[in-house]
Structure 1
Amino acid sequence: MSNAAAQAYARVATTTASPRDIEAQALLKAANKLQAVVSSEATYEQTTEALMFNRKLWTIFLSDALRDENNPQSIEVRQNIANIGIFVLTQTMALQISPQAEHIKPLIEINRNIAAGLGGRA
């Protein structure tokens, strides 16, 4: 498939996907970026980019969980998301200061497990 065709397919897939699917795809993308850091001799820039992507993603999730209006989730679910989000953000920031591959693995697992749950594969 050509690059232009792949990009067109990705745009259509994104516009027709449910919000849960989009969240799951974003979590898997973050997990894959982090896995690449763990699996290879990643450069400082690659490590920083993967951690920043994860941090931005979880900042969005945390922000959405803390907003009361227009959030269809129960307070218990939102609190659980907030707790996980705080953990992920704390770990991600610590890793940005001192990257250690073995400390990245829990972030990968969290992202993959939540993506599986969003996709109904948990």
Structure 2
Amino acid sequence: MNALLNAKRAYSAAKAPTRTPKDLEFEAIARITHRMISASKQGPEGFSALAEALTENRKLWQIFQTDVTSADNGLPEDLKEQILYLAAFTTQYTSRILARKAGVGPLVEINTAIMRGLRSGAS
């Protein structure tokens, strides 16, 4: 009986839903966005956590920028340009937040819009 239970457990893991690249992107953006929001709600005491979340967000946008500029990226040109603009904005705006001259609202809005696009099936 133990062998049967072990076999069921082993094969039940294979039934787990396959995550697409869009699912992985969504999860990464959602996790980082949640961290930014949570840290910003802590006020000055959460600045260290906010800085960590912002650094991760900036790294994620650098990955998007690198992916969009690769020769084998099949996204439409106008979408690539928009992503490059958002990546540049994110980098610059993050510096303002880290200098304590701005809040996270615009970055949260951008990430949320990207998550909506990923969920709606946009390319």
Q: TM-score, normalised by structure 2?
A: 0.76
Letter in 1 for 2:81: Q
4+ residue runs over 4 A deviation:
none
Query: Residue 49 of structure 1: CA displacement?
Result: 0.6
Count of residue correspondences: 107
Give, as a single letter, the amino acid of the residue that structure 2 aligns with 1:25.
E
Q: Which residue of 2 aligns with 1:3?
A: none
CA–CA separation in structure 2 for the residues paired with 1:63 and 1:93: 20
1:63 alignment partner in structure 2: 66
Q: Distance in 2 between matches of 1:99 and 1:44?
A: 13
Flag the 1:99–1:46 CA change in 2: closer, same or farther, 3 A: farther
Q: Give, in angstroms, the shift of residue 64 of structure 1.
A: 1.1
Residue 26 of structure 1 pairs with residue 32 of structure 2? no
AA of the residue aligned to 1:87: F
| Secondary structure in 2 matching 1:119 | helix
Amino acid at match of 2:58: R
The alignment status of 1:112 with 2:109, answered yes or no, reads no
Per mean C-alpha deviation after superposition, the further-off stretch among 16-25 and 34-43 is 34-43
**Which whole-Å deviations, capped at 9, do the CAs of 1:14-40 have from their partners, x for residues lacking one?**
xx2111111111111111011012222
- Aligned match for 1:38, one of 31, 40, 45: 40
- What amino acid is aligned across from residue 82 of structure 1 in structure 2? L
Structure 2 unaligned blocks of 5 or more:
1-12
1: CA distance, partners of 2:93 / 2:21: 26
* Aligned-pair CA distance for 1:121: 7.7
Q: Compare CA radii of gyration and give the structure with the larger one.
A: 2
33, 50, 55: which is aligned to 2:53?
50
Residues 90 and 30 from structure 1, CA distance in 2 versus in 1: closer, same or farther, beyond 3 angstroms? Answer: same
The offset of 1:72, in angstroms, is 1.1
Tell me, yes or no, if the aligned pair for 1:48 and 1:96 is still in contact at 8 Å: yes
Larger RCO, structures 1/2 (Cα 8 Å, 6+ apart): 1
TM-score (norm 1): 0.77
- Percent of aligned positions with the same letter in both sequences? 27
CA contact (8 A) 2:65 2:87 kept: yes
